[in-house]
């Protein structure tokens, strides 16, 4: 029995484009709800979010933005430009009232078929990147349309294999974050020592 089958993404998920600029304002609006906007600069190279780069926006009072709010388990794909990155929306991100901008496509998976961590790991892998590049269009600014993404075939592992991938995904992310935190701490320690030596020499 095969552990992996290939299926079109349309059979695994509901796929929606992000919201247009006219649906929100960067200035406070009376009666409008405050949100954080996901933009291209919010996505790190490892496929996580730089929360400090999320932009405060207010929704237009006459527009229902519910379908553009990311939910836990979603995969959000940065679909415009040269950096095609997928972000898995975990519980922390889901609780921050984040809206996806027009540069993104929201992939809301049927988790009975495929989990978000598995799809994120695939799309950010070398194989996944090649698959995404194959459906890019545009001469100047390349982008992926929602319709093209719906037709993309992706590997769907068995549930046991998906569980293993999820564990590896989470462990790898934790290890990466710990390494970055240690590197930042070491950088600050070195900078403090340099400043001390310069002050002593003055």
Q: Which domains does the chain have, with CATH numbers?
A: 4-157 (3.90.220.20)
Question: In this model, does residue 61 exceed pLDDT 60?
Answer: yes
Percent share of the chain, pLDDT over 70:
95
Q: What is the mean pLDDT of residues 87-108?
A: 94
CB atoms within 10 A of CB 112: 8
Task: Tell me the C-alpha distance between 124 and 106, whole Å.
Answer: 15
- Between 194 and 92, the more confident residue is 92
Question: In this model, does residue 1 exceed pLDDT 50?
Answer: no
Question: 9-23, 54-68, 81-95, 158-172: which range is least confident on average?
Answer: 158-172
- 177 pLDDT band (50/70/90 cuts)? low
């Amino acid at each position: 029995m095969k552990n992996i089958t290939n299926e079109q993404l349309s059979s695994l998920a509901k796929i929606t484009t992000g919201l247009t600029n006219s649906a929100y304002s960067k200035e406070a609006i009376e009666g409008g709800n405050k949100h954080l906007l996901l933009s291209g600069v919010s996505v790190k190279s490892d496929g996580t979010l730089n929360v400090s780069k999320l932009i405060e926006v207010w929704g237009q009072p006459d527009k229902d933005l519910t379908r553009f709010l990311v939910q836990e388990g979603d995969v959000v794909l940065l679909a415009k430009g040269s950096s095609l990155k997928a972000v898995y929306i975990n519980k922390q991100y889901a609780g921050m009232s984040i809206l996806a901008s027009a540069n993104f496509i929201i992939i809301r998976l049927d988790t009975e078929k495929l989990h978000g961590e598995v799809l994120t790991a695939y799309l950010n892998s070398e194989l996944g990147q090649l698959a995404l590049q194959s459906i890019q269009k545009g001469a100047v600014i390349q982008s992926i349309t929602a319709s093209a993404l719906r037709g993309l075939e992706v590997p769907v592992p068995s549930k046991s294999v998906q569980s293993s991938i999820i564990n590896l995904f989470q462990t790898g992310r934790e290890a990466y974050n710990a390494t970055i935190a240690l590197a930042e701490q070491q950088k600050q320690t070195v900078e403090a020592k340099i400043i001390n030596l310069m002050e002593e020499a003055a």
